[in-house]
Structure 1
């Protein structure tokens, strides 16, 4: 069956624009952030006509056991097959612990049974710093040469210079890196978290203008 690829960068744009609606404040713990973000994508999948499952099973041949997917979207069409899902449309992993970045990628690109190879994958991963990104992207390129999925990796890390989180999104097709978008994650005056793209964040643009004027 021909693979069904999403415009994953468009899904990332929706994630950015709607993040404030998750109502996550400085009072919420890490588990609540993970839950709300996974729930957001679960609801999105159902609105797009897929069956969404949280903590869905997926057999990992290298481990010899099943490992749960944080979120899966499955395509069902009884006109074609009234007993089985047609394909795994999306496998999503969302990880808060920085030292599990490689493990997150291994779960998204695991050696599994044919019916469980995802057409699209999304990884939302906290990392120590931007220095880690090239290594992780090279790992994705290596693994996706075999899996041939459409991939979106969202890396989040703390920027001490600006005292906010950086959010870097990389979109991959089976042919390689396709698009890159950068955003920031910060708290508003009410203490609630929001995400906006770099070009929409006024303080960042002001800093760039000041830097450019100094160079001139």
Structure 2
């Protein structure tokens, strides 16, 4: 059986939260720029960890019979095994701003594919319409990951209209059924620049 290299993805979530101010994103930036900066953050992280990072790489999707783009992929090259072929797909990341595409994001992360394209780790970052919807999506991720066996991190952005606050929920799904949750509050300073802070976890649903 193949040994999978799983990451402590909740640590990645904390790094994302603590470094968000360094992205230099403000209230005047559009969603495309926000997506670009966030993907670049994880692309740079992958390279610092010794992986090859590729933005808009492709992965075969058996259900559709064709390849589909990955927003970001980390590949591991082990020259002791091969100088030409990658040993495994270390990470598949998807970033989605459109709330109605939440299931499409999950479909991409947990698609049936060639054995060497099954990611050891996955990260999904997406906006959601409600915390009730997040509970539904979490069950989908847990069910699909039980088959895929990745370390999975879903980061859900949700704007609470009643409280007028932006929350980011980090939901971790381990390869053996482990679960962990963290929450962060995203707010703009007096100059309009976004930053985040971890907050006490509140029950979902």
Moved beyond 4 Å, runs of 4+: none
Q: Which residue of 2 aligns with 1:7?
A: 8
SS at match of 2:119: coil
* Distance in 1 between residues matched to 2:129 and 2:178, nearest whole Å: 22
1:50-89 per-residue CA deviation (whole Å, 9 max, x = no partner) reads 0000000100010111100000000012122112100000
Contiguous gaps of at least 5 residues in structure 2: 201-205
* Distance in 1 between residues matched to 2:47 and 2:155, nearest whole Å: 22
Matches within 5 A, 1:1-216: 1-199=2-200
- Structure with larger Rg: 1
Distance apart, 1:161 and its partner CA: 2.5
SS at match of 1:84: coil
1:84-106 per-residue CA deviation (whole Å, 9 max, x = no partner) reads 10000000001000000000000
* Distance in 2 between residues matched to 1:20 and 1:38, nearest whole Å: 15
Distance apart, 1:134 and its partner CA: 1.2
Contiguous gaps of at least 5 residues in structure 1: 200-216
* Distance in 2 between residues matched to 1:55 and 1:115, nearest whole Å: 18
With a CA cutoff of 8 Å and minimum separation of 6, indicate the structure with the bigger relative contact order. Answer: 2
* Distance in 2 between residues matched to 1:117 and 1:37, nearest whole Å: 23
Distance apart, 1:195 and its partner CA: 1.1
* Distance in 2 between residues matched to 1:107 and 1:162, nearest whole Å: 32
1:185-205 per-residue CA deviation (whole Å, 9 max, x = no partner) reads 111111011111115xxxxxx
SS at match of 1:58: strand
1:86-142 per-residue CA deviation (whole Å, 9 max, x = no partner) reads 000000001000000000000000011111000000000100011101110111111
* Distance in 2 between residues matched to 1:145 and 1:182, nearest whole Å: 24
Contact 1:170 1:177 in 2 (8 A): no
1:135-174 per-residue CA deviation (whole Å, 9 max, x = no partner) reads 1011111111211110000111101232121111111112
Contact 1:101 1:125 in 2 (8 A): yes
Q: Which residue of 1 aligns with 2:203?
A: none
SS at match of 2:27: coil
> Please, what is the CA RMSD of the aligned residues?
0.9
TM-score (structure 2 length as normaliser): 0.95
Of 173-182 and 7-16, the range deviating more from structure 2: 173-182
Structure with greater helix share of residues: 1
